[in-house]
Amino acid sequence: MKDMTFTLTDEQRALKAAVHDLCKQFRPEYWRELDAKREYPEAFVNALTKAGYLAALIPQEYGGPGLGILEGSLILEEINHSGGNAAACHAQMYIMGTLLRHGSEAQKKQYLPKIATGELRLQAFGVTEPNSGSDTTKLQTTAVRKGDRYAVNGQKIFISRVLQSDLMLLLARTTPVDQLKKKTDGLSVFLVDIRGIKGLEVRPLRMMMNHSTNALFFDNMEIPAETLIGEEGKGFHYILDGMNAERILVAADSLGDGRWFIEKAVAYSGQRVVFGKPIGANQGVQFPIAKAHMAVEAADLMRIKGARLFDGGEPCGPEANMAKYLAAEAAWEAANACIDCHGGYGYAEEYDVERKFREARLYKTAPINNNLILAYVGEHVLGMPRSY
Ligand SMILES: Cc1cc2nc3c(=O)[nH]c(=O)nc-3n(C[C@H](O)[C@H](O)[C@H](O)COP(=O)(O)OP(=O)(O)OC[C@H]3O[C@@H](n4cnc5c(N)ncnc54)[C@H](O)[C@@H]3O)c2cc1C
Domains along the sequence of the chain with CATH: 10-121 (1.10.540.10), 123-233 (2.40.110.10), 237-381 (1.20.140.10)
Q: Report the DSSP pairing between strands 187-193 and 122-126.
A: unpaired
Q: Read off the pLDDT band of 37 (50, 70, 90).
A: very high
Q: Closest residue (by CA) to atom 45 of ligand 1?
A: 371
- In the predicted model, what is the mean pLDDT of residues 192-211? 98
- The whole-angstrom distance between residue 163's C-alpha and the CA centroid of its chain comes to 17
Q: What's the confidence (pLDDT) of residue 94? A: 87
Work out the angle at residue 169's Cα, subtended by the Cα atoms of residues 321 and 124, and round it to the nearest 5 degrees: 80
Q: Which atom of ligand 1 is nearest to the CA of 388?
A: 41
> What number is the average pLDDT over the span 6-20?
96
* Cα 254 to Cα 325: distance, rounded to the nearest angstrom: 10
Mean of pLDDT values over 90-103: 92
| Mean pLDDT within 335-346 | 98
Pairwise CA distance, residues 281 & 121, whole Å: 48
> What pLDDT score was predicted for residue 4?
73
Residue nearest to atom 14 of ligand 1 (CA): 158
Mean pLDDT of the chain: 96
What pLDDT is stored for residue 77 in this prediction?
98
| Ligand 1 atom 33 nearest Cα | 369
**Whether the predicted pLDDT of 12 surpasses 70:** yes
Higher-confidence residue of 302 and 94: namely 302
Residue 5: the pLDDT is: 86
pLDDT at residue 322 greater than cutoff 80: yes
For the segment 153-163, the average pLDDT, to the nearest whole number, is 98
Give me the half-sphere count of Cα atoms (radius 13 Å) on the Cβ side of residue 154: 23
Ligand 1 pocket test target in 158, 205, 209, 321 with most atoms within 8 Å of CB: 158
Among protein residues, the one with the nearest Cα to ligand 1's atom 22 is 134
CA of 133 to the centre of ligand 1 (A): 6
The pLDDT value given to residue 267: 98
pLDDT of 87 > 80? The answer is yes
Helix (H), strand (E) at residue 102:
helix 90-102
Question: Is it the case that residue 373 has pLDDT exceeding 90?
Answer: yes
Pocket of ligand 1 (CB under 6 A): 125-128, 133-134, 158-160, 207, 211, 213, 362, 365-369, 371-372, 375, 387-388
How many residues are there in the chain?
Answer: 388
241: pLDDT strictly greater than 90: no
Q: Distance (Å, rounded) from C-alpha 216 to C-alpha 321? A: 28
Ligand 1: residue of 123, 128, 324 to mutate (most ligand atoms within 8 A of CB) is: 128
Question: Atom of ligand 1 at shortest distance to CA of 370?
Answer: 47
Report CA(131)–ligand 1 centroid distance (Å).
11
Q: Which atom of ligand 1 is nearest to the CA of 211?
A: 1
Gap between the Cα atoms of 367 and 129, Å rounded: 13
Those residues whose C-beta lies under 8 Å from the C-beta of residue 220, and which sit 6 or more positions away, are 151, 152, 153, 199
Write out the E strands in the chain.
Answer: 122-126, 142-146, 149-160, 167-173, 187-193, 200-205, 213-224, 228-229, 273-274, 277-278
Pocket test for ligand 1, best of 365, 379, 380 (most atoms within 8 A of CB): 365
Per-residue pLDDT tens digits for 115-128: 999 999 999 999 99
Give the gyration radius of the chain's Cα atoms.
21
Q: Would you say residue 1 has pLDDT above 60?
A: no
| Count of alpha carbons within 13 angstroms of residue 256, beta-carbon side | 30
Which secondary-structure segment (H or E) carries 350?
Answer: none
Dihedral angle of Cα 335, 337, 343, 349, to the nearest 10 degrees: -10
> Any residues with CB less than 8 A from the CB of 32 and at least 6 apart, and which?
349, 350, 352, 355
Name the band, by pLDDT with cuts 50, 70 and 90, for residue 316. Answer: very high
Residue 187 pLDDT > 70: yes
Query: The whole model's pTM is what?
Result: 0.97
- CA dist., res. 34 & res. 160, Å (int): 16
Q: Is the peptide bond before 367 cis (omega within 30 degrees of 0)?
A: yes
Tell me the CA–centroid distance for residue 279 and ligand 1, in Å: 38
Between 240 and 185, where is the model more confident? 185
Q: 2 pLDDT exceeds 80?
A: no
Q: How many whole angstroms separate alpha carbon 165 and alpha carbon 175?
A: 28
